[in-house]
Structures are given as structure tokens and as C-alpha cells.
Amino acid sequence: MHTETERCVRAVQSKDARFDGVFFTAVRTTRIYCRPSCPAVPPKPENMEFHPSAAACQRAGFRACKRCRPDTSPGSPEWNVRADAVARAVRLIQDGVVDREGVPGLARRLGWSARQIERQLLAELGAGPLALAR
């Protein structure tokens, strides 16, 4: 798969998560490698290289992207940081933290700002912490 350049470029430009783990994109100009679904702005096609594994990218002299964490394994908490943090927030909301301490209390427990919690919950679940508490 990683040798089919045109198909890989299309997957990166569309940020298609179905290709995560199938190949990795290394950017020649920045010396960084990413998953196909990385939220960063896609590089120009002429600056892309495709590798079959994260280890192959590292062997070629590239370092892992700090946004998409391509060096982590699927299922680990680092693989989908937002989903993991949202799950923790939901558990705390179900335990009544928002009712007792409000959204600032929830934010303190998670180590985030109240605005960040609001944004992450809206992106993942479509509702903020107060709506989930109700």
C-alpha cells in the first residue's frame, strides 16, 4: 500500500483515518512523520514520502509528529488523547463533580481549562459539561 503514491496522497489530503497504521507519511522538509489522519495541514505531495511503519520512518531519520502521535499503538491512551480525556470527564460528570464543584472544579480535576473541556466535549459528544450533567 505505501508504494501506491497517488492513493496515499489522496488519503493524507482527506485525512482518512481508515489508513492509520497501513502507512505513515514522512515530510522531507520538516523531517517529521505522521499518520494519514493527522489534523495538521497536509504537506505538498512533492514533499511526502510513504513508509510501511513508524520504525521505518525513524530509521530514515524522521521524528514523530506531536499532534497525531504516530509512534503510539492503537488502543493505548496516547493513540486518541481526546477520546480518553473525554471519557474521564464523562465519568467525573456522572459521579456528580459538576453538580458539586461546577465546571471549574471539573477543569481542575482534569488539569484543563473550562473552555478546553467545553470544546473537547462538544467535538466528541456534541454537548458541553452542563448539558451532560443534566
Expressed in angstroms, the distance from the first to the final Cα of the chain is: 47
Distance separating alpha carbons of residues 47 and 1, to the nearest angstrom: 18
- The residue from 8, 34, 38, 57 that is catalytic is 34
HEC readout, 12-45? HHCCCHHHECCEEEEECCCCEEECCCCCCCCCCH
Q: Strand runs (DSSP E) across 15-131, as ranges?
A: 24-27, 32-34, 48-51, 63-64
Q: 34 catalytic, yes or no?
A: yes
What are the residue numbers of the active site? 34
